[in-house]
Structure 1
Amino acid sequence: MSDQQQPPQHQEKQPGDEHAMRPEPEYIRDNYCGADKLLNRVAIITGGDSGIGRAVAVHFAREGADSVIVHLEEDTDAEETRRLVEAEGRRCLVLKGDVGQPEFCRQIVQKTLDAFGKLNILVNNAAEQYDWDDITDIPDDQLLRTFQTNLFSHFYLTKAALPHLAKGDTIIETSSINAFKGNDTLIDYTATKGGVQALMRSLAMSLMDRGIRVNAVAPGPVWTPLIPASMDDEKVASFGGQVPMKRAGQPSEMAPAYVYLASEDSSYMSGQTIHLNGGVILNT
C-alpha cells in the first residue's frame, strides 16, 4: 500500500459515494486467492454497497459465498458491488432501506430466506459519523439517528436473524479503534462503537452454548466514503497520517479478517476483536 495521502475532497451527503472518491478505495487485491472457505454460505452485509462492506462482499464471493448487501441510497455503488460479486460467480441480492428501522431489518432477513433459503453469516457494518466541535453541538435528533444506524440496527438484525442461525454460523460486528481510545470530535459515533463492543461480548457469551460465534473487527482510519462525507478537505487530506504506518488503510486490508471470522479457521474464537489500525498499540 502506498504511503501517499489522499487529495483534499468533500461530499455533502452521508454515507457517501465510492464512485465519487479520488482515488477510489481498493476493495480486493489482485493476488487474493480464494480457497472455498465460505463455499455455499449466505451472508447479510449491511453497508454492503461500498467501503468495507463492498470489500467483504467481494472477498466472501471469492471464497464461495452468496451475499445480501444492504444500502441506504447509494444505488450506483450498490449495483457495482452486485456486479463485482456476480463476476466472482456468486449470487448477490441488493436491498435498499434504513437499517435503523426494525421492520426493515425483519424484511432483510425474510427476503434473504426467500431468495437463498438460509442464512449463515451476519455482518453488522452500516454506520454514519459526524464531526463535532463540542457535545453541545449535537442535535437531539442526530444523536438518536446515529445510535439507530450504528447500534440499534445490530439489535434489530440480530433478533431477526437468530432464529435462522445454527451451530457453526457467525455474527461479525464492525467496531472501531475509537471505541478503545476515544475521539474528541467523533463523539456520538465513538459512543455507539463502545456499545457495539459491549454487545459483541454479551452476545458471544449468550450464544456460546448454541455454537454461534460472535466477534468484531475494529478498524483504524480506513479510506471509505464516510471519510469525505463526514470531514472537511483539510482533515481528508491528512486522514490516516496519525497512525504509526502514516497512512489510511484500504478496505482490501480489512476484509480478509472478516473471512477469517466467518470461516472455520476461527472456530476457537468468540467474543474477541481483531484490531486493524495501522500499528496503534491499545490497552484492550
Structure 2
Amino acid sequence: MSPTQFPAFVPPPGYHLVVLGALGGIGRALVRAAEAVGIRVTALDTQSAIDKSHPLESVNTLACDVSKETDVQRAFAQIGLSWGHIDGLVNLVGYTGERIAVADMPTQEWDDIVNTDLRGMFLVARAAAPLLQASAALGHGPAVVLVSSTFGVAVPLSGYAPYATSKAGVINLVRALATEWAPSVRVNGLAPGAIETPFLQGGTGRPHKTTGLDVARFKETVPLKRLGQPDDIAAPLLFLLSPAASYLHGQTIHVNGGSHMA
C-alpha cells in the first residue's frame, strides 16, 4: 500500500461528533482540532461550565450534567432531532474532589464522584446508542471513545479512591460496549496521564480543589519530563475515531509520556 492509499487518520469532513466535557482543556482542544478538519461538533457540558467558560464560537453547545438521567435524555433527544444520527462520540467527563482517604470518605462524596465518572458514562452510552446505530445503518462506521485515566490501572497517590475506582470501571465498560455493539459500532478508550488543564484543580465549572501534586517533582518521574498538553490527547482521540483505526476495538490506549507503560 502506498502512502497515498492509507486511510485517513482523522474522520472525514461532515462527520457528526458529540463531545461531552467539551469546555474543559482537552475538550476545547478536541473541538478546535475537529473543526479544523471539517467535522461538525455538538458540545455538551454542565451549565456551570458553560456559565464560567468562554463560549465555543460556531459550535452548538448544550447543557448536560451526566449525573442527571433527565439531562442526558434531554440532550440526546435534541441531538436526535437536529441530526438524526451521530457518527462519533467522545466522553471526557470526569472529576475528583479533595484528596480524602477511604476511612474518612463521606458517602455523599463517594456517590457524587462515582455517579459522574462511571454512572454518567453508562447513561450517555445508553442514550447515544440509537443515534450511533442510525449512523451504522447509513454505512458511516460510527466510533466511540470513553476517556478513562492512568488512575484506572495504577493508584500511586492516596486520596483518589472513588475517582480511580470509577476510571477502572470505564475501562471495563469500554470492553462491555465493544462486545455488545460489534460489529456496527467501534468502541475504544483513552487513558491520559497528568495533563496541564483545569482538571488538576478540580475540573471546569467545579470548585477549586487542592491536589497536593508537586508538579516539578512529578515531571521528573515522567520519562518525557513534562506534563501532557491538551493537544497531546486531542490528536489520538481523532485518530481513534478515524478510518485508520478501523480495526482497533475494545482497547484502552494510554497516553502519559511513559509514566505508566501498559
Whether the 8 Å contact between 2:92 and 2:147 is mirrored in structure 1 is yes
Q: Determine the C-alpha separation between the residues in 1 that align with 2:80 and 2:234.
A: 24
Aligned equivalent of 1:169, options 131, 142, 161: 142
Q: Determine the C-alpha separation between the residues in 2 that align with 1:54 and 1:205.
A: 30
Q: Determine the C-alpha separation between the residues in 2 that align with 1:281 and 1:99.
A: 28
Shift, 1:235, TM fit: 2.3
1:221 has 2:194 as partner:
yes
Q: Name 1:59's counterpart in structure 2.
A: 33
Instruction: Name the CA shift for 1:231/1:128 in 2 (closer, same or farther; >3 Å).
Output: same
Q: Name 2:4's counterpart in structure 1.
A: none
Instruction: Name the CA shift for 1:109/1:137 in 2 (closer, same or farther; >3 Å).
Output: same
Q: Name 2:5's counterpart in structure 1.
A: none
Instruction: Name the CA shift for 1:188/1:65 in 2 (closer, same or farther; >3 Å).
Output: same
1:118 has 2:85 as partner:
yes
Whether the 8 Å contact between 1:78 and 1:94 is mirrored in structure 2 is no
Whether the 8 Å contact between 2:9 and 2:242 is mirrored in structure 1 is no
Shift, 1:202, TM fit: 1.1
Q: Determine the C-alpha separation between the residues in 2 that align with 1:219 and 1:35.
A: 20
Q: Determine the C-alpha separation between the residues in 1 that align with 2:103 and 2:195.
A: 27
Q: Determine the C-alpha separation between the residues in 2 that align with 1:125 and 1:215.
A: 13
TM-score by length of structure 2 reads 0.85
Shift, 1:237, TM fit: 4.2
Q: Determine the C-alpha separation between the residues in 1 that align with 2:169 and 2:143.
A: 19
Alignment of 1:61-140 (within 5 A): 61-72=35-46, 73-75=48-50, 78-80=53-55, 82-83=56-57, 86=58, 92-140=59-107
1:261 has 2:228 as partner:
no
Aligned residue type for 2:26: I
Q: Name 2:11's counterpart in structure 1.
A: 37
Q: Name 1:180's counterpart in structure 2.
A: 153
SS in 1 for 2:194: coil
Q: Determine the C-alpha separation between the residues in 2 that align with 1:141 and 1:207.
A: 33
Q: Determine the C-alpha separation between the residues in 1 that align with 2:100 and 2:119.
A: 25
Instruction: Name the CA shift for 1:234/1:212 in 2 (closer, same or farther; >3 Å).
Output: closer
Aligned equivalent of 2:166, options 180, 183, 192: 192
TM-score by length of structure 1 reads 0.78
Question: Which sits farther off after the overlay, 177-186 or 259-268?
Answer: 177-186
Aligned residue type for 2:85: K
Uncovered stretches (5+) of structure 1, i.e. residues with no partner: 1-33, 87-91
Whether the 8 Å contact between 2:10 and 2:242 is mirrored in structure 1 is no
1:244 has 2:217 as partner:
no
Shift, 1:127, TM fit: 0.8
Shift, 1:156, TM fit: 0.7
Identity of aligned residues (%): 26
Q: Determine the C-alpha separation between the residues in 2 that align with 1:109 and 1:53.
A: 18
The total of aligned residue pairs comes to 241
Q: Name 1:50's counterpart in structure 2.
A: 24
Instruction: Name the CA shift for 1:171/1:191 in 2 (closer, same or farther; >3 Å).
Output: same
